[in-house]
Amino acid sequence: MAIISTKYLLDRARKQAWAVPAFNIHNAETIQAVLEACQERRSPAILAGTPGTYKHIACEEMLALGAAYSSSFDMPVVLHLDHHESFDDIAAKVRAGVRSAMVDGSHLPYEQNVVLVRQVVEYCHRHDCSVEAELGRLGGIEDDQHVDEAHAFLTDPEQAVSFVKHTGIDSLAVAIGTAHGLYAHRPKIDFSRLDQIGRLLDIPLVLHGGSGVPDEDVRQAIQLGIAKVNVGTELKIAFADAVKAYFGQHPDASDPRFYMREGMDAMKTVIHEKITICGSEGRLAEGGLK
């Protein structure tokens, strides 16, 4: 077993109309929680780390943890670069052994986005690293980025065709009405736009901002071409709330083996729910993983 690319995994998921959940991780405990839950359900695992996460725990350390769990849990692991913007940063992590990268140039003018993404694709593909990019821009807060509603915009289907053609990406993150963080109201997902994009493109599509999206909306999006669903905020809240509750009941507690376990188990409950919604349970038993 090993650290793998997402390309073959997402291609298979789209063809079979299920999705791979991508879980944002922040430290060793959250990595363990994700992989425990995925091993229990035999679901493919994508560990997604933002640049902020890699500042907290080094890339080499995350790769070592991922490789160790891959061996002990008998499952391939995807360590994914989430919302990375710098070519040099991505290239360094790919050289270290990462095999899945999301380059985010959505804040740039279209032409500059294409140039950046194509540069990343050309480098990553030489190292068997799959590349995801974003066209359109989601609102909300992700890591240290805050995009207000005025600067968020949806993916243009025709432009998406040109973008994929000129960059050579393996998967496309689409802006269809979701946002990073939690929603004050039910998100209005543009399924008609997603359907059009899905019909025009033959690569897997990615749904960012999956926390708080109603289950039935996620399932409908998967039927229209979404093959990867990103989940972050719900995991952090579940973990934090459980740890706070533990200290509320045990104010003198000091052993992280106990209070961290509470957070990990609460996080795993959310992970199990997302695996069910995405239809990824048991998919590790199928062939085609590389």
The 10s digit of each residue's pLDDT in 146-180 is 443 433 579 999 999 999 999 999 999 999 987 75
pLDDT given for residue 142 in this prediction? 47
Q: How far apart are CA 25 and CA 143, in angstroms?
A: 12
pLDDT given for residue 151 in this prediction? 37
Question: How many CB atoms are located within 10 Å of the residue 190 CB?
Answer: 17
Contact yes or no for 63/31 (Cβ under 8 A) = no
Question: How many CB atoms are located within 10 Å of the residue 161 CB?
Answer: 13
In this prediction, residue 260 has a pLDDT band, given cuts at 50, 70 and 90, of: very high
* pLDDT, tens only, 207-226: 998 677 899 999 999 999 99
Contact yes or no for 44/266 (Cβ under 8 A) = no
Higher pLDDT, 190 or 286: 190
Tell me which residues are annotated as active site.
Answer: 82
pLDDT given for residue 286 in this prediction? 64
Integer distance in angstroms from the first to the last C-alpha of the chain? 10
Higher pLDDT, 104 or 286: 104
Q: How far apart are CA 119 and CA 133, in angstroms?
A: 12
| Closest of 6, 4, 3, 24 to residue 172, by C-alpha | 6
In this prediction, residue 139 has a pLDDT band, given cuts at 50, 70 and 90, of: very low
For the chain, the domains span: 7-285
Q: How far apart are CA 235 and CA 264, in angstroms?
A: 9
Q: β-pairing, 139-142 with 145-147?
A: antiparallel
Q: Is 104 annotated as a binding residue?
A: yes
Mean pLDDT in residue range 139-144: 48
Q: Which CATH number fits domain 7-285: 1.10.10.10, 3.40.50.620, 3.40.640.10, 3.20.20.70?
A: 3.20.20.70
Q: Is 210 annotated as a binding residue?
A: yes
Q: Is 84 annotated as a binding residue?
A: no
* pLDDT, tens only, 54-112: 999 999 999 999 999 999 999 999 999 999 999 999 999 999 999 999 999 988 999 99
- What is the token pair recorded at 252? 């003198």
Say how far residue 290 (Cα) sits from the centre of its chain: 18
Mean pLDDT in residue range 231-240: 95
Contact yes or no for 30/239 (Cβ under 8 A) = yes
* pLDDT, tens only, 22-58: 999 999 999 999 999 999 999 998 999 999 999 999 9
